[in-house]
Structure 1
Amino acid sequence: MTRLKPRMNKIACLTLLFCGLMLSASAQKNFKYQAALQKINSTGFYRISLQPALVAKAKADLSDIRVIDAKGNFIPYIQAGSLPQKDQKSFVVFNQVDARLSTDTGTTFIVENKTGLALDRLWIKLQNTAVQRKVNLVGSDDLKQWFAIQEDVPLQEAVVNSEGTYMQSLAFPTSNYRYLKILVNDKNKAPIKFLQAGVYTEYAASLTYMPITPVQISRTDSNKTTYVTIKLNDNYQVNKLHIDITAPKYFKRDVMVYQITGRDKQLLGEAELNSAKPTDLLIAAKAGQLLLQISNGDNLPLTIKGIEAYQSDESLISYLDGKQTYKLLAGDASVQAPEYDLKFFADSIRDDIPQISHEAVQKNTAYQTKQKKAGRDYTVFIWIAIIVALGLLLFLTLKMTKEVSKKAGKEKD
């Protein structure tokens, strides 16, 4: 028995290591794209800026983005918008609105954004809970017609404290809807208790945007209406459109913004183009083509010199080792948002951490290999190897048990 025990421990460790490596390698092959992270010189927290080219390859909620090191290990991160705000004085509580619809299922919580600010984060205060729920966030300007903003956002479990409440940040594409509704998927379950929701004005006012290029536009004028088609070379996340209007000097036109996906046309929102204020349209789109429908009335069509598209700043916070190299993975529609312990230590992250970015987005070579050899999918063989290894471990365990039993029987005799 003394000889078998070290051997069994060694086999068990090797088996677990082998299984871990196989599963990690298999998981990485499901991501279509990769981008090397900028080299760092010291260990610590870093803010990783996500460029439009990478966000275009990821899911709309960015849940399929992963940070990995040179050994293939997934590195924990949190979205930068989830960091708690230090200045509580700048927190504005939104008024709660009672406007539950008969079609709503589950708990609803509706608030009014009277600030007029474009938001990509909403902080909600909840009674402490340890249950797992997901919420959908929708927006409206009239409490009648609602538009999807973000779906299946997981609610975090409460952090241990003595207050009985906790704050969570909901991240979503930049929007300027007047009303925001949180719909909890808790049908036939005990409801979640929302206490309040609001925004840190200093954070909202400091939103920054990244340009998306190239932008191709075409237009047609007919029946007192101008149609402007905006084409991008990928399914970019678009949060702002700047329209350069050179004539006439005074104008005030209604505009409707649509997202085009194949043959589907989805209304993103309605706005106003006014010569008295910046001609920026704040939207939340994930598409390669948009359509502007401008109502001219009895006026001449607007002279549009050009249109610029922007993505709101998206970034991750991660603790990186200065001696390691890292890269980002994206492009796996089947994965869910990761759950890392790092979210419970957000208070330890300073505001002035260094910012890094990533290099050009490339196809993940592991995924390419898998695609080219469509007739030779080695996933089955990997699982067979794992099963064989586990079977060998079980066989040796049973053998050791029998020998121990025989030895114990002989000692009794």
Structure 2
Amino acid sequence: MKRCVVLGPIIFWTGAACALTPHQWQYRQSIDVPAAGLVRINLPLETSNIARPDLSDLRIIDSNEKEIPFLIDQPMPRPESSVLAKDFRPEITSAETRLLITTDADLTIAGVMLETPASANFIKAARVEGSNDQKDWRTLTLGAPLFRMGNGATNLRVAFPEGRWQFLRVVVDDNRTPPIPWTNARLIVAGSRAPTEPVSVTIKSRDENPGMTRLGIDLGAANLRIASIRIGTSEPVFTRTVKVAAPELSAQNLQEETLSSEVLYRVDLNGKVEAHLDLPIDKQIFGRELVLLIDNGDSPPLLVSEVRADRRITRLIFFAATPGAYSLLSGNSQCELPRYDLSHLGDQLRQAGTTQGQLSLPAQNPGYNPAANLPQDFATGAKIDVAPWKFRKPIQIAQPGAQQIELDPDILARAAPDFRDLRVVSENAQLPYLIECTSIERTVSLNPGIANDPKRPTFSRWKLKLPQAALPLTRVTCASASGLFERTFRLWEELTDERGDQYPHELAQTTWRRVPNQPAGQLAVSFAALPKTDTVLIETDNGDNPPIELHDFRGYYPVTRIIFASPKSQSVTLYYGNEEAASPRYDAKLVAAQLLRSERTPAALGSQEILKSERVTETLTGSARYIFWGVLGIVVVALLILISRLLPKAT
């Protein structure tokens, strides 16, 4: 220990950085150092939220504002791995299946993953025993669930306390269901753990779609390395496949990228309740939002009452020559990565004895000079001439800061399909924005009408009226009271070409089958193309069967949001409807970095305003366009003849 203290000043002061100017950093935190020597401080999530994701803008200074070198310590676990068992011997008895597994005695094993070709649904309990001589067996776990469900949820892993065993015996209970074939096993080699601390999270939104529940989770801060999350539910028995996703920048848009997928369950095996409610993540989340996608299949939505999260701890280690007050600076977008040359000493410094320093919460640096930290404000973009745009809607902003708008059907139907013509405008200047494509779906009721063709008596046809033309529906659902049928359904719309002839625009085709004693599900048809009109036709051939009855038609479209920053409560308008507009080019990475770490405020849209009426020739299609030009030509010729007759004749 004394040697570490003696070497500390040499190690750190020889690597001291050049003098810095503290007023270039926006935030300051005080560090209370009780004793000289190596000091360790834990970074709170408030610091992670305001610093760069890689912490390259952090600086430590002493009371004389001299820079102090430091080491960033982020303890990470060693991940688990798996190896194939050396030998695998199954044995089926009257009421159980015994699987004798030979392992590598040098491995520390934390579980086994069984393999089976069985495709049928099953749920069984397993007991695992360990031995080094096949004589003395020790029970490692009892009543572990193994299952495969109709909704795709599967668990073939059995976990138990870490240990070294030359032999493992897995005993599968076959009392309630017939045995299934087990073909092999993989040994789960134990990893190592790393410290975590809980994060207070909130469920900000809940959206229910057929077969899917979407939860929006607010982590409270950005740039956190989340180790895992855990759901809380009062459901006594369930199995669900749950995915965790986060908004990430792709090109100019935010897309939901899947981070982790896990089967969560709570099952009752012979009176013993087993549960697995944790989703491992171990990734840095650059924004402050996560999305949970719960696959309910044909089951009712899972009622999630709470979500908990744990994050990895980040520590700074530095040498304090004297006890007293030090400062941690953060919030500088322009400074370079410090070079302290301490990485080769990382292991020694992490293992050395340290004193715990007390770090305050971030506060505004009193001497902060924004001009020294440019570009710090990119909320306003270039000037814009809005004359070519046809439509606009006012945006009602409740408070300044990051704003979030959900595009409504008016905008979705009239904007360009790739949204290149959207502009957020304030005081004749653009406000840079990001488009967020979400997994949320909104539903609209479709008014059906019978449209049977007398020339095709065996066919049933319905005409579905959309709220407006070109609404980007991605699928349609409906229900039927019929109990036994198998039908192929075709969905299309009628378009008109330049000559005025109608032709079908195919949207989807699918087969729906229902047999007795089957749960009454819905027909769900995904569109291969987006509709262009306000009418969709659906038909099926009944053959010699009674006509099928359909009802409760619904259409679904994905939710798209615009995210932007409004520096003050000012008049902001959304413009759309300009076929000639090109995609805007903003500094997307800079915009995303600011918006993802900010808590968004939902903004409301006002009523649509029509700025430019469409020209007559744009509203006419097919033969109507030719008739218009023909009539116009006749009128012009008639006027010329009339004018020529009224003119005085030359004498």
Residues 1:297 and 2:297 are matched in the alignment: yes
8 A contact 1:52–1:311 mirrored in 2: no
| Alignment match, 2:323 | 323
**Which shows bigger deviation, 250-259 or 48-57?**
250-259
- Per-residue CA deviations over 1:137-170 (Å, capped at 9, x if unaligned) read xxxxxxxxxxxxxxxxxxxxxxxxxxxxxxxxxx
CA distance in 1, matches of 2:278, 2:26: 37
Seen in structure 2, the aligned counterparts of structure 1 residues 211 and 319 have a Cα distance that, compared at 3 Å, is same
Residues 1:274 and 2:264 are matched in the alignment: yes
Alignment of 1:144-163 (within 5 A): none
Alignment of 1:351-366 (within 5 A): 351-366=352-367
CA distance in 2, matches of 1:301, 1:249: 13
Seen in structure 2, the aligned counterparts of structure 1 residues 94 and 231 have a Cα distance that, compared at 3 Å, is same
| Alignment match, 2:63 | 70
The Cα shift of 1:81 comes to: 4.1
- Aligned residue identity for 1:297: G
| Alignment match, 2:335 | 335
| Alignment match, 1:404 | none
Question: Unpaired segments of 5 or more residues in structure 2?
Answer: 1-17, 84-107, 112-188, 266-274, 376-651
Alignment of 1:3-402 (within 5 A): 24=19, 26=21, 28-37=22-31, 39-81=32-74, 204-205=192-193, 207-213=194-200, 215-239=202-226, 240-259=228-247, 264-275=254-265, 276-284=275-283, 285-346=285-346, 348-349=348-349, 350-367=351-368
- Aligned residue identity for 2:255: K
CA distance in 2, matches of 1:307, 1:44: 40
The Cα shift of 1:238 comes to: 4.4
> Which structure's residues are more often strand, by fraction?
2
Seen in structure 2, the aligned counterparts of structure 1 residues 264 and 369 have a Cα distance that, compared at 3 Å, is closer
- Aligned residue identity for 1:353: T
| SS of aligned partner of 1:290 | strand
8 A contact 1:217–1:231 mirrored in 2: yes
Across the aligned residues of Structure 1 and Structure 2, the Cα RMSD in angstroms comes to 3.9
8 A contact 2:245–2:290 mirrored in 1: yes
The Cα shift of 1:309 comes to: 3.0
The Cα shift of 1:371 comes to: 8.1
- Aligned residue identity for 1:57: I
8 A contact 1:216–1:232 mirrored in 2: no
CA distance in 2, matches of 1:94, 1:368: 54
- Aligned residue identity for 1:265: Q
Seen in structure 2, the aligned counterparts of structure 1 residues 92 and 116 have a Cα distance that, compared at 3 Å, is closer
- Aligned residue identity for 1:333: S
Seen in structure 2, the aligned counterparts of structure 1 residues 300 and 347 have a Cα distance that, compared at 3 Å, is closer
Seen in structure 2, the aligned counterparts of structure 1 residues 303 and 343 have a Cα distance that, compared at 3 Å, is same
The Cα shift of 1:55 comes to: 1.0
CA distance in 1, matches of 2:244, 2:81: 30
**Which shows bigger deviation, 262-271 or 244-253?**
262-271
Q: Aligned residue pairs: how many?
A: 245
| Alignment match, 1:15 | none
Normalized against structure 1, the TM-score is what? 0.51
8 A contact 1:31–1:364 mirrored in 2: yes
Seen in structure 2, the aligned counterparts of structure 1 residues 60 and 347 have a Cα distance that, compared at 3 Å, is closer
The Cα shift of 1:62 comes to: 1.5
The Cα shift of 1:273 comes to: 3.6
- Per-residue CA deviations over 1:195-235 (Å, capped at 9, x if unaligned) read xxxxx977x31x22233335243211111110101124442
Q: Percent identity?
A: 20
- Aligned residue identity for 1:221: E
| SS of aligned partner of 1:228 | strand
Question: Unpaired segments of 5 or more residues in structure 1?
Answer: 1-22, 96-113, 118-199, 375-413
8 A contact 2:260–2:280 mirrored in 1: no
- Aligned residue identity for 1:280: L
CA distance in 1, matches of 2:203, 2:59: 31
Seen in structure 2, the aligned counterparts of structure 1 residues 331 and 49 have a Cα distance that, compared at 3 Å, is same
Q: Quick check: which has more Rg, 1 or 2? A: 2
Normalized against structure 2, the TM-score is what? 0.33
CA distance in 1, matches of 2:359, 2:220: 20
| SS of aligned partner of 1:29 | helix
8 A contact 2:24–2:372 mirrored in 1: no
- Per-residue CA deviations over 1:351-390 (Å, capped at 9, x if unaligned) read 4423334111112222257589x9xxxxxxxxxxxxxxxx
Seen in structure 2, the aligned counterparts of structure 1 residues 263 and 208 have a Cα distance that, compared at 3 Å, is same
- Aligned residue identity for 1:272: E
